[in-house]
A and B are shown apart, each in its own frame.
Chain A
Amino acid sequence: MNEMTTIARTTTLKDWETDQEVRWCPGCGDYAILKAVQRTLPDIGAVPENTVFISGIGCSSRFPYYVESYGFHTIHGRAPAFATGLKLANPDLDVWIITGDGDGLSIGGNHTMHVIRRNLDCQIMLFNNEIYGLTKGQYSPTSRVGTNSPSTPFGSIDRPAQPCAFALGAGARFVARGFDVSKELPNVLKAAHAHKGAAFIEIFQNCIVYNKDVFEDFAAPKGAEDRQLWLKHGEPMLFAKGTRGITLDHAALTLKVVDVVDGDWQAAGVIVHDVTNRSVAHMLVEMRFGEFPMALGVLYDDPRPTFEADVWRQNEAAAAGKTADLQGLLKKGQTWTVKEGGPDL
Chain B
Amino acid sequence: MATAVADEAAAPESSLSDAVVVRFAGDSGDGMQLTGGQFTLSTALAGNDLATFPDFPAEIRAPQGTLFGVSAFQINFGSSEITTAGDAPDVLVAMNPAALKTNVPQLKPGGLIIADEGEFNDRNLAKAKYDANPLEDGSLAKWQLLKLNISQATMDAVKPFGLGNKEALRCKNMWTLGLALWMFDRDRQPLIEWLKAKFAKDPNLADANIAALNAGHAFGETAELSGPLKQHHVAPAPVAPGLYRTLTGAEAIALGLVAGAQLARLPMFFGGYPITPASAILHHLSRLKEYDVTTFQAEDEIAAICSAIGASYGGSLGVTSSSGPGIALKGEAMGLAIMTELPLVIVNSQRGGPSTGLPTKTEQSDLYQAVYGRNGDAPMPVIAARSPGDAFECAIEACRIATQYMTPVMLLTDGYIANAAEPWKVPDLTAYEAFPVEFLTEVPEGGFKPYGRDEKLARPWVKPGTPGLLHRIGGIEKEVDTGHLNYQPANHQAMTDLRKAKIDGVKVPDQIVELGAEGGKLAVVGWGSTYGPIHQAVRRKRAEGADVSHIHIRHIWPLPANLGALLKSYDRVIVPEMNTGQLKTVLRDQYLVDAKPVNKVSGQPFRIAEIEAAIEEALG
Contact = CB atoms under 8 A, between A and B. Distances in A.
A336 B424 CA distance: 10
Contacts of A54: 310
Contacts of A322: 289-290
Interface in A107-156: 110-111, 113-114
Contact of B313 (A48, A82, A331): A82
B316 A89 contact: yes
Given A82-B313, A84-B296, A318-B289, A331 B426 contact: yes
B314 A90 contact: yes
A78 B333 contact: yes
A302 B258 CA distance: 39
Interface residues of B, number: 73
B470 A48 contact: yes
Interface string A304-316: 0000000100111
A32 to B, nearest CB: 21
Interface string B460-485: 00011111111111111000000011
A341 B244 CA distance: 15
Interface string B293-313: 010101110111011111111
A323 B291 CA distance: 8
Given A20-B485, A73-B476, A335-B244, A82 B309 contact: yes
Contacts of A49: 464-470
Interface string A148-172: 0000000000000000000000000
Interface stretch (B93-101, B233-241, B574-582): B233-241
B464 A338 contact: no
Contact of B243 (A81, A87, A335): A335
B300 A85 contact: no
B117 to A, nearest CB: 34
Contacts of B300: 110
Interface stretch (A63-71, A189-197, A213-221, A265-273): A63-71
Nearest to A308: B294
Contacts of A316: 289
A342 interface: yes
A2 interface: yes
A18 B229 CA distance: 82
A6 to B, nearest CB: 9
A331 B302 contact: no
A88 interface: yes
Given A64-B474, A93-B465, A326 B289 contact: no
B307 A326 contact: no
B242 interface: yes
A86 interface: yes
Contact of B306 (A2, A70, A74): A74
Contacts of A323: 290
Contact of A334 (B245, B304, B311): B245
Given A81-B307, A334-B45, A338-B239, A318 B290 contact: yes
Given A114-B299, A326-B259, A336-B244, A85 B311 contact: yes
A2 B464 contact: no
Interface string B554-578: 0000000000000000000000000
Tell me the interface secondary structure of chain A in the complex: mixed
Interface string B272-304: 000000000000000011111010101110111
A324 interface: yes
Contacts of B318: 85
Interface residues of A, number: 65
Contact of A114 (B303, B315, B473): B303
Contacts of B332: 75-76
A87 B310 CA distance: 8
A345 B426 CA distance: 16
A343 B292 CA distance: 35
**Which of B44, B241, B300, B304 has the most chain A CB atoms inside 10 A of its CB?**
B241
A88 B294 CA distance: 8
B292 A88 contact: no
Nearest to A110: B299
A72 B471 CA distance: 9
Interface in A201-222: none
Given A81-B302, A315-B294, A326 B262 contact: yes
A50 B426 contact: no
B358 to A, nearest CB: 27
A339 interface: yes
Interface string B310-340: 1111111010000000000000110010001
B171 interface: no
B269 to A, nearest CB: 6
B47 interface: yes
A251 interface: no
A18 to B, nearest CB: 7
B357 interface: no
Contacts of B427: 330
A329 interface: yes
Interface string B472-501: 111110000000110000000000000000
Contact of B310 (A73, A81, A315, A326): A81
Given A84-B310, A89-B310, A345-B45, A73 B473 contact: yes
A8 interface: no
Contacts of B238: 342
A226 interface: no
B243 A337 contact: yes
B472 A73 contact: yes
Given A334-B190, A338-B240, A82 B310 contact: yes
Interface in B392-440: 426-429
Given A64-B474, A72-B473, A20 B484 contact: yes
A48 B299 CA distance: 31
Contacts of B290: 318-319, 322-324
Contacts of B469: 49
A340 interface: yes
11 contacts: A52-B464, A78-B306, A81-B302, A84-B296, A90-B463, A93-B314, A93-B465, A311-B294, A343-B46, A343-B236, A345-B187
Given A87-B310, A340-B241, 6 more contacts: A49-B466, A89-B310, A90-B315, A311-B294, A333-B245, A338-B239
8 closest cross-chain pairs (CB), A and B: A73-B474, A85-B310, A343-B47, A89-B314, A85-B307, A81-B306, A82-B310, A71-B472
